[in-house]
Structure 1
């Protein structure tokens, strides 16, 4: 603990921690997704309601009177319940599978490790090099960049250090133009 005097007579206490956001295997933490708990909660809720529906469907059919002899009515009812039971979790997974909950960077190897959630809500590790990052030509709703072929979603404003985002996206690479090429282009106009 140390004290810094900010105003005459007023001391401000500051605590420092030894944690540097380093992970021994993955490297330095450069990004943390603020919606990670929300994504996990929504997916868990969707999965749990789908499982509940599967267990309750036979009871509903027996007690509700839908168990009539009409095969067409039964198929329509089962189809509607099955649609919402299976399509909602699959849709949520497709939309959120690329959401990066943590992103680590190893300076010595120039590699990134992205942590996302897989279909069974476990953390999935994707390791890629900066040269594997491709920016989509057309802006996509749930894709910031592609790491190899996997789409990834990050929020650029949540990087504590903007240089980390610039390096990830390749914006820090210098574009060298030959002065002669620029002059030739100007002369053609």
Structure 2
């Protein structure tokens, strides 16, 4: 009789506690599952998109350029931080020409060197990826703060100058870029970008007299 009472009490307690606990926690697993599904889909789509792009070009000077720019930006930040102390010590000398010389040297290495280095390296293409579905190229360069900058362009957006400028091979959407043919994994992509696969225009060799006779 005692065992039967104990069993009834236990079943009553379990029946009283279990729905309450389930009622409080039944919503949370659903919310967690929804968030986990969204995050997994987001990263899966991102990874799938990156895998669809094919890297066809890599600039071999990319590590060296990054290292030099990091050193230049770090030295400029250190120069700006130490400039008040250097100027305070320089004013104690009392020589105006020496003070001007010190300020010129500090200003050159603090401001001019990083800007000059960025002007030279901002055209250097570190990577080029190709999307075969949209026939789009994605060129990557480095900005002043050593962050990657990507430019999407197609073959129609490329203009090759007759006389290449300094560190300039082509213009993509008006932006000058520097690339080298030997670093392409497939030379056909370089030929398409530079327009070497297009037919030659033999009309460029016509004489001026022939044009005048046609106009008359």
- Give the 3-state SS of the residue equivalent to 2:196 in structure 1: coil
**Structure with a larger share of its residues in strand:** 1
Partner of 1:28: 54
Q: Deviations over 1:156-177 (max 9, x none)?
A: 1111111111111111123487
The alignment status of 1:124 with 2:149, answered yes or no, reads: yes
* C-alpha deviation, 1:23, in angstroms: 7.2
* Partner of residue 102 from structure 2, selected from 70, 77, 82: 77
Q: TM-score, normalised by structure 1?
A: 0.73
Partner of 1:166: 191
> How many aligned positions are there?
159
Partner of 2:87: 61
* Partner of residue 151 from structure 1, selected from 157, 171, 176: 176
Consecutive unaligned residues of structure 2, counting only runs of 5 or more, are 1-46, 211-216
The alignment status of 1:139 with 2:164, answered yes or no, reads: yes
Consecutive unaligned residues of structure 1, counting only runs of 5 or more, are 1-21
In 2, distance between residues paired with 1:32 and 1:108?
A: 21
- Give the 3-state SS of the residue equivalent to 2:141 in structure 1: strand
**Residues 23 and 38 of structure 1: CA distance in aligned 2, closer, same or farther (over 3 Å):** farther
Q: TM-score, normalised by structure 2?
A: 0.65
The RMSD of aligned alpha carbons is 2.8
**Residues 74 and 172 of structure 1: CA distance in aligned 2, closer, same or farther (over 3 Å):** same
* Partner of residue 42 from structure 1, selected from 55, 68, 72: 68
